[in-house]
Amino acid sequence: QLAREEQDDGSAPDDITRNPPVYPCSRSARLQQLVRGDEGFLLALGYATQRGYGRNHPFAGEIRTGHVSVEIVPEELGFAIDIGEILLTECEMVNGFVDP
């Protein structure tokens, strides 16, 4: 038997953001660590697919997303009118170059 069935004893789950895990960990602490590791893996996977192969490749420093309002300024009115919003994604890439 590889895994045993967990029983709910009614206790509050551990919070590894407030208290560091103490080994052996509880089930809730193990699951939280797995989720955090999975998030890092997904970012690393995205980084690996975009960087390509070679000596110089960029690193995804920060990835941001958010809604931005779109405005136009009609000549006949002379002031800005908000016509809606769009979802934008931005990736700040870091690349180091050494001068010869």
Residue 69 lies in a domain: yes
Please report the pLDDT score of residue 20 as a whole number.
86
Task: Using DSSP, state whether 17 is helix, strand or coil.
Answer: coil
Decide if 43 is inside a domain: yes
The predicted-structure confidence for 44-75, as pLDDT tens digits, reads as follows 777 666 666 666 666 777 788 999 999 999 99
**72 compared with 40, residue with greater pLDDT:** 72
Question: Over pLDDT 90: what percentage of the chain?
Answer: 25
The reply to whether the predicted model has a pTM over 0.75 is: no
CB 68 within 8 A of CB 98: no
Q: How far apart are CA 68 and CA 46, in angstroms?
A: 24
18 falls within a domain = no
| Residue 14 included in any domain | no
Mean pLDDT of the chain, nearest integer: 81
The pLDDT assigned to 55 comes to 61
Q: Is the dihedral of CA 58, 62, 65, 69 positive or negative?
A: negative
Give the range of the structural domain holding residue 80, as residue numbers without chain letter: 27-94
